[in-house]
């Protein structure tokens, strides 16, 4: 089945995301992966797909249109096999390191030829930390190094990341962070035009209505005031270029062995999600991480993708995905086949540390 997204954007040569910018904590809770489950996952950079291994499923099938994204996943798999936890953090870029080329060399023999060629051609990306190698991460680096210093001093940025009570966070945001200069810069840099050209892809916004920047500005306030930025790994990376001790789900020490021990249960393929049936081998899906792929599809094609998913899912299968600016819901398009879980969806959305999205949706196949 031809993917609509592939008709409008380059999914062959660009590593778009060197990290998953979707909160695996809410994803893992939503999908509640159990021993013996068959799980479908959009590969992206691999972090969230690897997080799903912590539930000890029978199989995780990762699909992505972009071979560069699969190279990112494959290198992570090799790193879990060959490195210690602290060395993994160095290779990703979560912690400082002067030996990333050596760490990569220890992982290289476990990579396919295509992935070896991909990473061999990018020694500077390896040396800088593979988590900074994507187009989206480079966009954040411009924000961090060029734009943010125009509005806030370094000590203000670091102060934002200090633990505070909710009342103290509100006061800090109102009095020190949310200046007119901040709002002006943010609306410029996170406009659909710049976000599309420098960060994501212009075609990703073709179904968007309304101001992307205004939506994101409101969500940033939620992340900085309602949630705790001192405990948010995504904000730490955006503002400092590393995670430090504030790690996303797949990189936490308590998850390392569970992921490493279940790596043989993971497979990956360069294919659209619409083609999931080609890789199931008669099995049915128990859970699916669709990332935010419905965002990029017309209503007709979103309905077709969801219909293909239903065809290969067991009754009661759990489906989770994000909407950023474009509302897409399986229970709206195929109400006979998708049962919404609004209370759980809302609760997890409110806790979501990746603050870009308008909605997090959990549904069951009926």
> pLDDT for 72-128, tens place per residue?
999 999 999 999 999 999 999 999 999 999 999 999 999 999 999 999 999 999 999
Query: Is the distance from CB of 128 to CB of 104 less than 8 angstroms?
Result: no
Give the confidence band of 322 by pLDDT, cuts at 50, 70, 90.
very high
- The tens digit of pLDDT for each residue in 325-345 reads 788 999 999 999 999 999 999
DSSP string, 27-50: HHHHH---TT-EEEEE-TTSHHHH
CA 206 from chain centre, in angstroms, equals: 21
What is the percent of the chain with per-residue pLDDT over 70, rounded to a whole number?
92
Give the confidence band of 295 by pLDDT, cuts at 50, 70, 90.
confident
The more confidently predicted of residues 57 and 1 is 57
Q: What pTM did the predictor assign?
A: 0.91
- 60 forms beta bridges with 39, 266
Find, among 149, 133, 43, the residue nearest to 93 by Cα. 133
Q: Residue 92 and residue 95: Cα distance in Å, rounded?
A: 8
């Amino acid at each position: 089945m031809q993917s609509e997204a592939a008709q409008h954007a380059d999914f062959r040569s660009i590593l778009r995301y060197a990290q998953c910018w979707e909160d695996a904590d809410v994803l893992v809770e939503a999908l509640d992966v159990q021993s013996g489950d068959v799980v479908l996952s959009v590969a992206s950079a691999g972090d969230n797909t690897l997080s799903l291994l912590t539930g000890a499923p029978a199989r995780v099938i990762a699909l992505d249109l972009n071979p560069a994204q699969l190279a990112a996943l494959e290198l992570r798999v090799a790193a879990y096999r060959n490195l210690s936890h602290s060395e993994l953090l160095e290779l990703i870029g979560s912690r400082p390191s002067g030996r990333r080329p050596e760490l990569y060399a220890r992982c290289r023999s476990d990579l396919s030829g295509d992935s070896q060629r991909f990473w061999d051609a990018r020694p500077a990306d390896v040396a800088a930390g593979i988590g900074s190698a994507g187009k989206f991460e480079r966009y954040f680096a411009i924000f961090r190094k060029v734009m943010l210093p125009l509005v806030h001093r370094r000590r203000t940025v670091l102060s934002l990341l200090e633990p505070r009570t909710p009342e103290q966070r509100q006061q800090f945001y109102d009095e020190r962070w949310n200046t007119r200069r901040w709002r002006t810069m943010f609306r410029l840099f996170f406009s659909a035009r710049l976000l599309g050209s420098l960060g994501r892809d212009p075609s990703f916004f073709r179904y968007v209505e309304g101001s992307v920047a205004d939506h994101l500005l409101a969500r940033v306030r939620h992340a900085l005031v309602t949630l705790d930025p001192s405990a948010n790994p995504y904000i730490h990376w955006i503002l400092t270029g590393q995670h430090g001790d504030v790690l996303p789900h797949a990189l936490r020490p308590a998850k390392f062995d569970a992921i490493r021990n279940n790596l043989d249960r993971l497979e990956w393929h360069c294919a659209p999600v619409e083609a999931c049936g080609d890789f199931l081998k008669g099995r049915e899906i128990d859970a699916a991480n669709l990332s935010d792929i419905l965002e990029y599809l017309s209503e007709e094609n979103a309905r077709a993708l969801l219909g293909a998913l239903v065809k290969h899912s067991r009754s009661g299968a759990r489906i989770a995905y994000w909407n950023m600016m474009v509302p897409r819901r399986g229970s709206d398009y195929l109400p006979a086949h998708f049962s919404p879980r609004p209370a759980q969806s809302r609760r997890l959305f409110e806790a979501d540390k990746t603050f870009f999205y308008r909605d997090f949706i959990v549904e069951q196949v009926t």
